[in-house]
Structure formats: C-alpha cells, structure tokens
C-alpha cells in the first residue's frame, strides 16, 4: 500500500527507490554494519605495520574498522598500509569522507576480479564481497568467472556465485601465514559449490572457521540478508595441507563471538551437513522413475505478469474505488502468498477475499475513462521513459493478464515452498510462477497438496538457492525439477473433498508437519510408491536441511 502522498509523488518516490535498489542489487552491495566490521578487523589485524586489502570496500566500514584496529595496536595513521578495489563511485566518496589518503594509489576504481596482485602481498584480507548469484551475471561476467574457475579451482561447479571468485582471487594477494575474513551469504554452508570450495580452502589454510549468524545485520539497509563469517588463518601458498577440521558455530548475534583466542571453536563439522545434502540428492535421484517424476514432465511453468511498477498499477480494491475507477477495469492479481488463506484461491466473491487480494488496473484499449486518464496523467514522463518494462509495450500502461493457470508457486519461500491452486481463475504477479497441467485433471486438483509432501519439499531444498534471510529462491527451471508422485491416487469425489478439506484445515491451523505426513501416507506409502522407512529417512533429511538453512541449530 502506498503512502498518503498523491499519485505523482508516489511514482517519483517508487522510481527513485527502485533505481537505488536496482543499482545496489546489480552490484551486490550490502554495506557492512560497524559491529561486524570491528569484530573481523580485530581478528584479522595482529600487528601495527601489517598490510590489509579490502577487495570491495564499498561503504568503507571494513576500512574504518581496520583503522581503529591499527590505532589500538599503536599505529595512528595506517593509510599507506591499506589497499582496496571497488567499481562503485560512491565507495570513493566514502573514502574521502573518512580522510583515508589515496595519494599512493592504493585504492583503485577497478573490478577486483580483473586485477592482478603483481608484487603486492598483504598480511590480511578483510572483505564483504558482492552477493551476486551466477544467474544475475551478464555474459562478460560469466566468461570472467569461468576463466577464474579454470585458473584457481577447475572442480568448482560453474554456477558458483561471484563471491566465491573473490575468495579465490584474494588468495593471490596474500602473504604466507596470512589471514582472510569474509562476510558471506549463508550459501557458503548450503550451496552445491560450498563443499569443493571449503575442501580446497582446507588445503591452503591451517585453520578454517565458519560462523553462521542468525542476526540479520543488513536489516538497517533495507535488506533481509543473513550472513556467515568465513575466517581463514595461516595461509600456505604451496598447499598440500592434510584436511584440517572445519569448525562451525551458530550464534544469534555478532557480539557473541569470543575474540580472546586465535580460533573460534565449534561443535558441528560442516562436512556432515553437506553429506546430508549429498545423501538426500542420491536417495531422491534413485526414486525418480520408480516412484517420482519431475513436475516439468507433466506441467508447464512460466513467470507471472510483469507489471512494471506494481505499487502504482496494483492496489487494494478500496483504493481504486476511492480513485473513481470502475471494477470492470480491474482484475485480481495475486502478489503475496499471505493473501491466500489455505492452499487454494477459491471461487466466489466474498468481501474478505476481495479485500485480501489487490487488483491490477487494465485500462480499455479503445478509450480511457476520465478517472483512469487523470490517474495515468500523473505518472512522471521521465519515469515512463526510464522504465525498461514500459519500453517493451506498444502502450506503456497496458499489462498482460492471463488467468488460465491451474496453480501458482512463489519464486521465494522462507519455511517451505507451496503451490496455490487457482480455483478462482485469476492471475499472479512475477513474484510467482504459473503452473499449467498438460492434461491430467486429477493431477491439477492434487498439485497444492502434493507441494506439502516430503519429496516435493526436499527436492525444493536441494534445488533452491539460499538467500541471506534463510529463504530459498526457485527459478522456473527449478520448479520443473521438483518431485511429485509418478502416479496420483484416484479417490472418489466425496473422499477427495473430505481429504482436501482436512489438509486445508491443518494448513490453516499452522500444522504443516501433520499435513505433510498425512499426504505422504495417502499418496506415497499406502500406494506402495515409497516404503515407510524410506519416507522416514527422507523426512529426517528434509528437516535437517531446512533447520540448517534457517540456522536453527545451536
């Protein structure tokens, strides 16, 4: 819902906010909060005359913390010992404001991944690298990432996020026995490329430590990212180290970290967590073809409506009424899972349902009613020109609306992904994907319940990309690979409706595990598709993976 400003002010504010957000998102910018930076700097900097590199210095929080750490060690002016790279002009403005001298050219406006260490060797690397996934890289960046992968770690999966390459490249700047401290997304403990990366680092450092932090330290910057800290000590350039233990620790807040020792001990070894992932993937793969099939083999998955400015063109029905826009020019558009209570968008026009789901403005092609004309006229011309979605349309304000999907699934989920049945014949925004069954009507009505099953959940856990908040992001290609039963139960209409109602009531009561177990029993165990012992193992693995992703271990 927009503020109390007028439509023009709202549009300008939204446009400016989106511009800054898009800039930060493209660069993967999340400035490090001071407390986290201070902790890492005190850990990494041990002597007053050491050289320190920050390969993406951004808001300079790491550099400010490094200066403070040097002062505590008796060095009041360490500018010449600090080095850095960044592609963002705003980063150099921060540098000047801090009075950190760049007279020697130690700070370069350059992509760190295109730099060369030359003769420079530093004692410590402090870094909060860009949180940019492989899927958001352009073709040039992907080529660059591939070259670095081949140079440093050919066994690394090609889809590794860009921060992995920052770690690998930073090692070429590091002196023997040096240290590196990185702020990273939680994917360092969950992604498929985490295991080969950590195993490689274990051959190069005598100490490898991983601290998962529940506290969302970027929340003040408007980002819901959660992080992990990677602490690497005693670098050995020639490698050959027998794999040391990777110490991991789960903490609520940064300040819980004890800096009194040289290392941070943990009680859980990360490889065990990754083994769960590997074992789950192997077990699930063995069931595909025998008990399971991929959703994409029986349904299509496509992105929802790309509105262009959802805050402007999608509003609650009450607001459209206040603006004088007639309901015949409005269509309900699902934009958030919370707008649906239960697992189906139901038929009917109850006032409660109307108020929950906002409506998309669909102006007529032949003429514009006066109320709509006035509303559209207040949208800034400059914002129209800058909007990439509007540029692709013959009429900038005309959005597509396809209501033929059998179901929807959100692209982002926190606790678990769920499919929402489209009994009401509406459409969704591009925060969702549309699912359209190819032929099987029985499958279509089962889809929302199948998404609560253990095989579906665990396949989504394995396929999804973990975001800093602990949520998982699914691409359309991922949704197509989620697992559903190879055969759907054929129940009588009465039995099906009663079962459907029971599952929906469990969901409304927040009893997700109970609903999941009921579906597992009816769909997989009673039908002999999956043995109860196999299902129990799958469920235990799924719970372990979900708990690890949400940082629930203590």
| Eight-class DSSP state of 366 | S
State whether 189 and 150 are in the same domain: yes
Q: How many CB atoms lie within 10 A of CB 27?
A: 18
Judge whether residue 193 has pLDDT over 50: yes
Please report, for the chain, how many H helices and E strands are present, in that order.
20, 23
Write down the pLDDT at residue 120. 95
Q: Is the pLDDT of residue 28 over 60?
A: no
Judge whether residue 198 has pLDDT over 50: yes
Evaluate whether residue 160 is within a structural domain: yes
Of residues 185, 176, 181, the one with CA closest to residue 213: 185
CA distance 393 to 378: 19
Q: What CATH number does the domain containing 81 carry?
A: 3.40.50.150
- Pairing label, strands 483-485, 330-334: unpaired
Is residue 423 packed enough to be buried (19+ CB in 10 Å), middle (13-18) or exposed (0-12)? middle
Q: Enter the DSSP assignment of 524.
A: I
79-124: per-residue pLDDT in tens? Answer: 899 999 998 888 788 888 887 888 889 999 999 999 999 999 999 9
Within a domain: residue 424? no
Tokens of 442: 């029985």
Sheet holding 246-251, edge to edge: 107-109, 82-86, 52-54, 122-127, 174-185, 227-235, 205-213, 246-251, 268-269
- What's the pLDDT at 30? 57
Task: Tell me whether residue 246 is exposed, middle or buried, using C-beta atoms within 10 angstroms of its C-beta: 0 to 12, 13 to 18, 19 or more.
Answer: buried
Pair (215, 286) in one structural domain: no
**Range with lowest mean pLDDT among 230-234, 257-261, 273-277, 363-367:** 257-261
Please report the pLDDT score of residue 418 as a whole number. Answer: 92
Q: Give yes or no: residues 473 and 535 share one domain.
A: yes
- Quote the percentage of the chain above a pLDDT of 90: 56
Which stretch of 9-23, 64-78, 430-444, 511-525 has the lowest confidence by average pLDDT? 9-23
Is the model's pLDDT at 22 over the cut of 70? no
Of 249, 266, 283, which closes a domain? Answer: 266
* Residue 85 shares a structural domain with residue 99: yes
Same domain? For 281 and 143 the reply is no
One domain for residues 247 and 286: no
**Low-confidence winner among 177-181, 189-193, 380-384, 508-512 (lowest mean pLDDT):** 189-193
Do 67 and 91 lie in one domain? The reply is: yes
Assess contact for 130 and 56: CB atoms under 8 A: yes
464-476 average pLDDT score: 81
Residues 229 and 281 in one domain: no
pLDDT at 427 exceeding the cut of 60? yes
**Position 12 in a domain:** no
Q: CB-based contacts of 328: which residues, under 8 Å, 6+ apart?
A: none
Query: Distance between CA 551 and CA 554 in Å, rounded?
Result: 8
Question: Average pLDDT for residues 453-462, to the nearest whole number?
Answer: 95
Q: Which long-range contacts does 370-379 make (Cβ < 8 Å, 24+ apart)?
A: 370/324, 371/323, 371/324, 371/325, 371/326, 372/325, 372/329, 375/7, 375/323, 375/325, 378/6, 378/7, 378/8, 378/11, 379/7, 379/8, 379/11, 379/312
Q: Which domain holds residue 233?
A: 31-266
Same domain as 287, residue 180: no
Same domain, 145 and 169: yes
Mean pLDDT of the chain: 85
Please check the confidence at residue 272 and state whether its pLDDT lies above 50.
no
Residue 53 within any structural domain of the chain: yes
- At 53, give phi and psi (nearest 5°): -115, 135
C-alpha to C-alpha distance for 462 and 439, rounded to whole angstroms: 28
Structural domains in the chain (count): 2
Distance CA 128, CA 122 (A): 17
| Ramachandran angles phi, psi of 357, nearest 5° | -95, 120
Q: Average pLDDT in the 431-451 region?
A: 90
**Mean pLDDT on 5-34:** 48
User: 89 and 166 in one domain?
Assistant: yes
177 domain-assigned: yes
Copy the structure tokens of residue 138: 């352009």
Same domain, 100 and 187: yes
3-state secondary structure at position 434: strand
- Sign, CA dihedral 210-478-219-94, equals positive
Residue 469 has a pLDDT of: 64
Tens of pLDDT, residues 293-330: 999 999 999 999 999 999 999 999 999 999 999 999 99
| Domain limit, last residue, from 220, 247, 266 | 266
Kindly report which listed range (165-179, 201-215, 377-391, 530-544) carries the lowest average pLDDT score.
201-215
Q: What is the 3-state secondary structure (H, E, C) of 184-237?
A: EEHHHHCCCCHHHHHHHHHCCEEEEEEEEECCCCCHHHCCCCCEEEEEEEEECC
DSSP 260: S
Report the pLDDT averaged over residues 335-343: 89
What is the C-alpha to C-alpha distance for residues 249 and 269, in angstroms, rounded to an integer?
A: 9
Q: What is the pLDDT of residue 197?
A: 94
* 20 within a domain of the structure (yes/no): no
Q: What is the pLDDT of residues 200-225, one digit of tens each?
A: 999 999 989 888 876 655 434 444 56
Check whether 352 has a pLDDT greater than 60: no
Do 165 and 129 form a contact (C-beta atoms < 8 A)? no
Looking at the predicted structure, is the pLDDT value of residue 166 above 80? yes
The percent of residues in the chain predicted with pLDDT above 70, rounded, is 84
How far, in Å, CA of 139 to CA of 176, rounded? 35
Domain membership flag for residue 310: no
The pLDDT score that the predictor gives to residue 355 is 62
- From 216, 241, 266, give the residue that closes a domain: 266
Q: What is the pLDDT of residue 524?
A: 96
451, with CB counted inside 10 A (0-12, 13-18, 19+), is buried
Say which residue the tokens 């692209």 belong to: 411
In sequence order, the β-bridge partners of residue 453 are none
Domain assignment of residue 15, yes or no: no
112-152 pLDDT, tens per residue? Answer: 999 999 999 999 999 999 888 888 888 899 999 999 999 99
Give the CA count within 13 Å in the CB-facing half-sphere of 165: 29
Asked if pLDDT for residue 19 goes beyond 50, the answer is no
């Amino acid at each position: 819902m927009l503020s109390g400003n007028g439509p023009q002010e709202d549009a300008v504010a939204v446009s400016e906010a989106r511009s800054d957000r898009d800039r930060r998102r493209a660069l993967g910018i999340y400035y490090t909060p001071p407390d986290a930076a201070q902790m890492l700097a005190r850990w990494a900097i041990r002597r007053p005359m050491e050289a320190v590199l920050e390969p993406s210095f951004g808001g300079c929080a790491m550099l400010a913390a490094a200066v403070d750490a040097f002062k505590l060690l008796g060095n009041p002016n360490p500018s010449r010992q600090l080095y850095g790279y960044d592609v963002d002009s705003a980063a150099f403005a921060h540098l000047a404001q801090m009075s950190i001298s760049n007279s020697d050219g130690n700070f370069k406006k350059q992509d760190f991944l295109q730099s060369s260490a030359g003769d420079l060797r530093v004692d410590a690397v402090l870094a909060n690298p860009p949180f940019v996934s492989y899927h958001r890289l352009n073709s040039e960046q992907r080529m660059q990432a591939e070259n670095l992968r081949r140079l440093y770690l050919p066994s690394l999966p090609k889809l590794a996020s860009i921060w992995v390459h920052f770690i690998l490249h930073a090692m070429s700047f590091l002196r023997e026995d040096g240290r590196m401290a990185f702020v990273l997304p939680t994917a360092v403990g969950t992604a498929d490329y985490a295991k080969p990366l950590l195993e490689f680092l274990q051959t190069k450092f005598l100490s490898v430590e991983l601290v998962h932090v529940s506290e969302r330290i970027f929340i003040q910057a408007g980002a819901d990212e959660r992080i992990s800290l990677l602490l690497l000590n005693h670098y050995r350039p020639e490698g050959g180290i027998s794999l040391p233990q990777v110490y991991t620790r789960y903490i609520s807040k940064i300040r819980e970290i004890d800096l009194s020792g040289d290392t941070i001990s943990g009680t859980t070894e990360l490889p065990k967590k990754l083994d769960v992932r590997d074992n789950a993937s192997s077990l699930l793969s063995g069931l595909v073809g025998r008990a399971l099939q991929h959703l994409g083999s029986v349904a299509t998955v496509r992105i929802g409506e790309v509105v262009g400015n959802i805050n402007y063109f999608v509003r609650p029905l009450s607001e459209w009424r206040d603006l004088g826009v007639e309901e015949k020019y409005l269509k309900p558009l699902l934009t958030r899972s919370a707008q649906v209570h239960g697992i189906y968008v139901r038929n009917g026009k109850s006032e409660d349902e109307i108020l929950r789901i906002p409506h998309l403005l669909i102006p007529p092609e032949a003429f514009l009613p006066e109320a709509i004309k006035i509303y559209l006229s207040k949208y800034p011309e400059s914002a129209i020109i800058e909007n990439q979605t509007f540029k692709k349309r013959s009429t900038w304000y005309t959005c597509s609306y396809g209501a033929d999907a059998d179901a929807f699934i959100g692209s982002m989920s926190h606790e678990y992904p769920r499919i929402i049945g489209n009994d009401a014949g509406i459409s969704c925004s591009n925060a969702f994907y549309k699912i359209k069954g190819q032929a099987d009507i029985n499958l279509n009505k089962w889809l929302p319940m199948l998404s609560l099953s253990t095989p579906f959940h665990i396949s989504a856990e394995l396929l999804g990309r973990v975001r800093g908040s602990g949520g998982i992001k699914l691409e359309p290609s991922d949704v197509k690979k989620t697992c559903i039963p190879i055969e759907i139960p054929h129940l009588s209409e009465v039995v099906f409706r009663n079962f459907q109602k029971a599952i929906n009531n469990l969901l409304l009561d927040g009893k997700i595990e109970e609903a999941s177990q009921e579906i597992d029993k009816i769909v997989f165990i009673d039908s002999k598709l999956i043995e109860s012992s196999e299902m129990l193992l799958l469920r235990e693995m799924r719970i372990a993976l979900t708990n690890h992703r949400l940082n629930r271990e203590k």
